[in-house]
């Protein structure tokens, strides 16, 4: 799945199950390794990490479709400055939120934490969970394309 605008791009792909052989454990059997490639004005980085459960990965395309339909409300920082994502997952590597919507399009935030952070944000002085994000201005058609791409890629990884 690719989301991009004239400043940044975020590409996410399910690469495989963390454990190729199912063991009969609801969680371990369904962890997906996600590969990501990100480019921003600050720099580029990539990551590969078990980041989403199969059912969580499906929530991501549902959120993209809802954002395209205009049913996700924009969310700003809380009073203390903390920015909570709309959709987050058990492993807090990835999350998404909607920054805003206007006639020019929708601004989607893709949040990166822990192993998915860029190298310059890792460590004790780095970004806290969900506080580093890439904002992308996209239109509804781009959100739907990304959701379709994501769903096609996930078809190879049913819940086990």
d(CA 42, CA 147): 26
d(CA 141, CA 101): 14
Backbone torsion region of residue 123, taken as left when φ is above 0, otherwise alpha when ψ lies between -120 and 50, otherwise beta: left
φ, ψ of residue 100 in degrees (nearest 5)? 180, 170
| Model confidence at 40: pLDDT above 90 | yes
Judge contact between 113 and 127, C-beta under 8 A. Answer: yes
Q: How confident is the model at residue 104 (pLDDT cuts 50, 70, 90)?
A: confident
d(CA 61, CA 74): 17
User: Which domains, ranges and CATH numbers included, belong to the chain?
Assistant: 2-154 (2.30.31)
Q: Of all helices (H) and strands (E), which one includes residue 144? A: helix 140-154
Give 61-94 pLDDT, tens digit per residue: 999 999 999 999 999 999 998 999 989 899 999 9
Q: How confident is the model at residue 142 (pLDDT cuts 50, 70, 90)?
A: very high
């Amino acid at each position: 799945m690719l989301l991009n605008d004239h400043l940044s791009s975020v590409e996410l792909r399910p690469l495989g199950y963390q454990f190729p052989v199912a063991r009969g454990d609801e969680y371990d059997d369904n962890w997906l390794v996600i590969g990501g490639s990100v480019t921003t004005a600050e720099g580029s980085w990539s990551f590969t990490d078990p980041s989403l459960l199969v059912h969580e990965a499906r929530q991501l395309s549902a959120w993209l479709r809802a954002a395209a339909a205009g049913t996700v409300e924009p969310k700003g920082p809380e009073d203390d400055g903390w920015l909570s994502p709309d959709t987050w997952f058990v492993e807090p590597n990835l999350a998404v939120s909607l920054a805003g919507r206007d006639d020019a399009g929708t601004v989607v935030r893709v949040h990166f934490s822990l192993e998915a952070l860029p190298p310059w944000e890792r460590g004790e002085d780095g970004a806290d969970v969900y506080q580093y994000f890439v904002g992308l201005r996209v239109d509804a058609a781009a959100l739907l394309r990304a959701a379709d791409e994501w769903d096609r890629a996930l078809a190879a990884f049913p819940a086990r």
